[in-house]
Amino acid sequence: MCGRYTLTDPQEAHDLLAPILDDPGLPEEVPPRFNIAPTQTLPIVANRQRRAFELARWGLVPSWAKDLSIGNRMINARAESLAERPAFRDALARRRCLVPATGFFEWQKVGKRKQPYFIHPDPLRPYAFAGLWDRWKTPEGSWLVSFTIVTCPPNELVAPLHDRMPVVVAPEDWDRWLAREALPPEALQDILAPPPAEGWVAEPVGDRVNRPDHEGPECIAPPRPVQGSLF
């Protein structure tokens, strides 16, 4: 799965995606993020009539949902079963999005604790996850836009850490993933594959990232060395 990720330079991510946007501009309320967690509001690029950076809640809330809480269980969508699950089937055909990011986290069990790893391109730079989006009408009558990140089996870099990883959409596939017309699942299957491990690294980081209320560059800093006893 993908339960945490980063967007350390929103402006750089926007500039990277600018060639495929119809409406340029970055929402002012998008600060650098080093520990993004589910239910938080982040930028996406959806396949609307006009493509633009827009803010959406992480955790898909389908249009037919009875309440918001369903989104807490839909932060990820398995690529292999998108066409089978009602919550994702129509979104795969009609409501796809790109989720700008600069890295993501996974945890590996080491003895009685879990060691977090920061997985990212080297050097650190933005890219885009494959996502699905939807709109849900709140009880107050406003519209909530939400999204989920599509996952696939891991590549050789991530496999020692977890049995899933996010789908990373290559720049040459951005236009096809964001096509405005409905597409059958078979037209997108080649995109929903593990990305090459070359050019990526998995670096151990400190425990600060374990808490979703922690933010800042310290979340991607190396672990502090354990101080040995003098006796």
Residues forming the active site:
2, 106
* C-alpha triplet 162, 163, 164: angle, nearest 5°: 95
23 DSSP assignment: B
22/53 Cα distance (integer angstroms): 10
The helix (H) or strand (E) run that includes residue 148 is strand 143-152
Give the pLDDT score at 112: 87
> Of residues 27 and 163, which shows the higher confidence score?
163
pLDDT digits (tens, 9 = 90+) for 39-70: 999 999 999 999 999 999 999 999 999 999 99
145: closest CA among 53, 212, 80? 53
The model's confidence at residue 230, banded by pLDDT at 50, 70 and 90, is very low
Q: What is the pTM of this model?
A: 0.94
- Distance (Å, whole) CA 186 – CA 188: 5
Q: Would you say 12 and 124 are in contact if contact means Cβ atoms under 8 Å apart?
A: no
Question: How much is the CA Rg of the chain, to the nearest whole Å?
Answer: 18
Q: Are 183 and 80 in contact (CB under 8 A)?
A: no
Q: Cβ(207)–Cβ(116) under 8 Å?
A: yes
Domain layout of the chain by residue ranges: 5-220
- Tell me which residue has tokens 């350390």: 8
pLDDT at res. 231: 35
pLDDT class for 225, splitting at 50, 70, 90?
confident
For the domain bounded by 5-220, which CATH number is listed? 3.90.1680.10
- C-alpha dist (Å) from residue 121 to 67, 136, 149, 200, 201: 37, 34, 18, 4, 6
Query: Residue 21 CA to chain centroid, in angstroms?
Result: 19
99-119 per-position pLDDT tens digit: 999 999 999 988 888 999 999
